[in-house]
Amino acid sequence: MSQENILLNIGVVERETGIGKDTLRVWERRYGFPVPVRDQNEERLYPGGQVDQLRLIKRLLDIGMRPSKVVGLSMPELSTLLSESPKDESSYSAELHQFVELIKMHQGAALRVALNLALYRQGMPEFLSKTIAQLNQLVGEGWMRGDIRVFEEHLYSEQITSVLRTAIATIRNPAGTPRILLTTLPGEEHSLGLLMAEATLSLSGAQCTMLGVQTPIGEIVLAAQAHQSDIVALSFSLSMPALQIKSGLQQLRQALPQNVALWAGGSGVARQRKPEDGVQYLGSLSDLTGAVRVFRDA
pLDDT band at 90 (very low <50, low <70, confident <90, very high): low
Asked whether the predicted pLDDT for residue 3 surpasses 60, the reply is no
Asked whether the predicted pLDDT for residue 279 surpasses 50, the reply is yes
Nearest residue to 183 (alpha-carbon basis) of 171, 195, 172: 195
pLDDT number for residue 71: 93
- Please give the Cα distance from 38 to 44 (Å, whole number): 5
Give residue limits of the domains in the chain.
3-83, 94-170, 172-297
- Please give the Cα distance from 229 to 222 (Å, whole number): 10
Q: How many CB atoms within 10 Å of residue 292?
A: 22
DSSP string, the chain: --GGG-EEEHHHHHHHH---HHHHHHHHHHH--S--EE-TT--EEEEHHHHHHHHHHHHHHHTT--HHHHTT--HHHHHHHHHTS----TTS-HHHHHHHHHHHTT-HHHHHHHHHHHHHHH-HHHIIIIIIHHHHHHHHHHHHHTSS-HHHHHHHHHHHHHHHHHHHHHH--TT-SSEEEEE--TT----HHHHHHHHHHHHTT-EEEEEES---HHHHHHHHHHTT-SEEEEE--TTS-HHHHHHHHHHHHHHS-TTSEEEEESGGGGG-SSPPTTEEEE-SHHHHHHHHHHHHH-
Residues of the chain with pLDDT > 70, as a percent, come to 95
Q: What rounded mean pLDDT belongs to the chain? A: 88
Top CATH class, 172-297:
alpha beta
**Mean pLDDT value across residues 110-123:** 95
pLDDT number for residue 88: 53
Top CATH class, 94-170:
mainly alpha
Name, in order, each residue with C-beta under 8 angstroms of 66's C-beta and a sequence gap of 6 or more. Answer: 242, 271
Is the link from the previous residue into 76 a cis peptide, with omega within 30 of 0?
no
Asked whether the predicted pLDDT for residue 285 surpasses 50, the reply is yes
Q: What is the pLDDT of residues 180-194, one digit of tens each?
A: 999 999 988 888 889
pLDDT number for residue 140: 76
- Please give the Cα distance from 45 to 38 (Å, whole number): 6
Q: What is the pLDDT of residues 134-154, one digit of tens each?
A: 898 888 777 766 788 878 988
- Please give the Cα distance from 60 to 78 (Å, whole number): 8
Q: 3-83 is classed in which CATH architecture? A: Orthogonal Bundle (1.10)
